[in-house]
Amino acid sequence: MSEIRDPGLWESGKRKIDWVKGNMSLLRSIEEEFLASKPFAGVKIALSIHLEAKTAYLCKVLAAGGAEMFVTGSNPLSTQDDVAAALVHDGLNVFAWHGATDEEYHRHISMAVSSGPNIIIDDGGDLVNMIHNEYPELIENVIGGCEETTTGIIRLINMDKAGQLKFPMMLVNNARCKYLFDNRYGTGQSVWDGINRTTNLIVAGKNVVVAGYGWCGKGVAMRAKGLGASVIVTEVDPVKAIEAVMDGFKVMKMEEAAKIGDFFVTVTGCKDVITEKSFYNMKDGAILCNAGHFDCEVDVAGLKKIAVETRLARNNIDGYKLSNGRWLYVIGEGRLVNLAAGDGHPAEIMDMSFAIQALSAAWLFKNKGKLTSKINVVPEEIDNDVASRKLRFWGLEIDTLTEEQEKYLNSWQV
């Protein structure tokens, strides 16, 4: 049971999956363990994460653990049709295609949810939202789930506060082996990969405006600096703004930054970060993109409305001419640029994030019925296990505390 664009594309998808697998040593070790222990025997897992090769390999690892997989995408532009075909070729159920309309995207999420999953693996909360809102009768099958990203976690916490979250969720994003590397170094590299391959323009000497100086924003700003840009940060949190200043960046309001920016990257998880107010002040040729989870950070619909002329400027870049004669360019329709205009984070980074996902899902199943809270942090031993394996695969050794040192660190008397 699947709904994908073209099953015939599987060979190209398989090549992509084999390539990332070769660079995901953590997941390979977990796959071996899962093959032997089958932690998900008889379990249905619905998964909604950007459907490219690294995600596909995670799906195969979960399937190796005995899970019946129901896979969908997490954004209409991030699904790669050949990768979806390779999963179907391997016998997994997949509902996703690149360029899905809103209606098709909704149908695909709905097909994954209506499988009646026992575990949900979500990225941004689409599966969790749908099962609560449209399939409440299926909630009783759900043991719990894992959430991949910051925006999804904010939503889960809000749901829980409102007493609306009906099953336990693991905050995968908040594990140290996730956000410290994926959000910072993963987003930092893949955002510039997406921008560079799509625009083919120089970054050195340009003004780059990064909206949001959280874990992702820090990575995007750091790599922009490395490419030779002059970096400007916009923030709403005074502490993060000070951090940006001390990291050597200019800080100002978006309406001021709008006048001088050549590239704009929003990565706040908030909405309406760049709107009409700023569009008219921007320089001719300014390039706008978003790396936050949802496409509401740059008001692309508002830009469309005020444009006097539009054109496809280059593959995946839409041009909008304003009444002042200036052209503004938006990459990937304002959807997360590293996935809508690239292949997402590097494999070695997703190796850590998805190792946390796989081990958290297994932990969740092992603790079925025992969790008292709906919001659960990833246990420290999973974080430490992932970090230790990573160091081992890199051939690096670190010191361990002696008994005396442990005693010293755990005491309060001199």
Ligand X SMILES: NC(=O)c1ccc[n+]([C@@H]2O[C@H](COP(=O)([O-])OP(=O)(O)OC[C@H]3O[C@@H](n4cnc5c(N)ncnc54)[C@H](O)[C@@H]3O)[C@@H](O)[C@H]2O)c1
Residues that bind ligand X (CB under 6 A): 149-151, 179, 183, 187, 211-217, 234-237, 240, 267-270, 273, 291-293, 336, 338
The beta-strand segments (E) located in 101-202 are 119-122, 144-147, 169-171
Query: What residues pair up with 266 in beta bridges, in sequence order?
Result: 211, 290
CB of 181 to ligand X, least distance (A): 11
CB of 314 to ligand X, least distance (A): 21
Q: In what order do the strands lie in the sheet with 93-95?
A: 93-95, 68-72, 44-48, 119-122, 144-147, 169-171, 375-377
CB of 241 to ligand X, least distance (A): 9
The alpha carbon torsion through 19, 225, 270, 113 (nearest 10 deg) reads: 0
**Nearer residue to ligand X within complex by CB, 138 or 270:** 270
CB of 342 to ligand X, least distance (A): 9
CB of 299 to ligand X, least distance (A): 12
CB of 291 to ligand X, least distance (A): 4
**Nearer residue to ligand X within complex by CB, 31 or 295:** 295
**Nearer residue to ligand X within complex by CB, 76 or 292:** 292
Query: What residues pair up with 398 in beta bridges, in sequence order?
Result: none
User: What are residue 369's phi and psi, to 5 degrees?
Assistant: 80, -10
333: left (phi over 0), alpha (psi -120 to 50) or beta: left
**Nearer residue to ligand X within complex by CB, 150 or 360:** 150
Using a 10 angstrom Cβ sphere, with 0-12 exposed, 13-18 middle and 19 or more buried, the burial of residue 24 is buried
Give the SS3 label for residue 246.
helix
CB of 51 to ligand X, least distance (A): 14
Distance (Å, whole) CA 194 – CA 200: 10
> Does residue 69 contact residue 47 with C-beta atoms inside 8 Å?
yes
**Nearer residue to ligand X within complex by CB, 39 or 342:** 342
**Nearer residue to ligand X within complex by CB, 9 or 273:** 273
Q: Which residue sits closest to ligand X, CB atoms considered?
A: 214
**Nearer residue to ligand X within complex by CB, 65 or 125:** 125
Distance (Å, whole) CA 122 – CA 143: 14
Distance (Å, whole) CA 362 – CA 40: 7
CB of 409 to ligand X, least distance (A): 29
CB of 287 to ligand X, least distance (A): 17
Pairing of strands 144-147, 327-331: unpaired
The Cβ-side half-sphere exposure at 234, using a 13 Å CA radius, reads 22
**Nearer residue to ligand X within complex by CB, 64 or 209:** 209
Distance (Å, whole) CA 128 – CA 45: 13
**Nearer residue to ligand X within complex by CB, 85 or 289:** 289
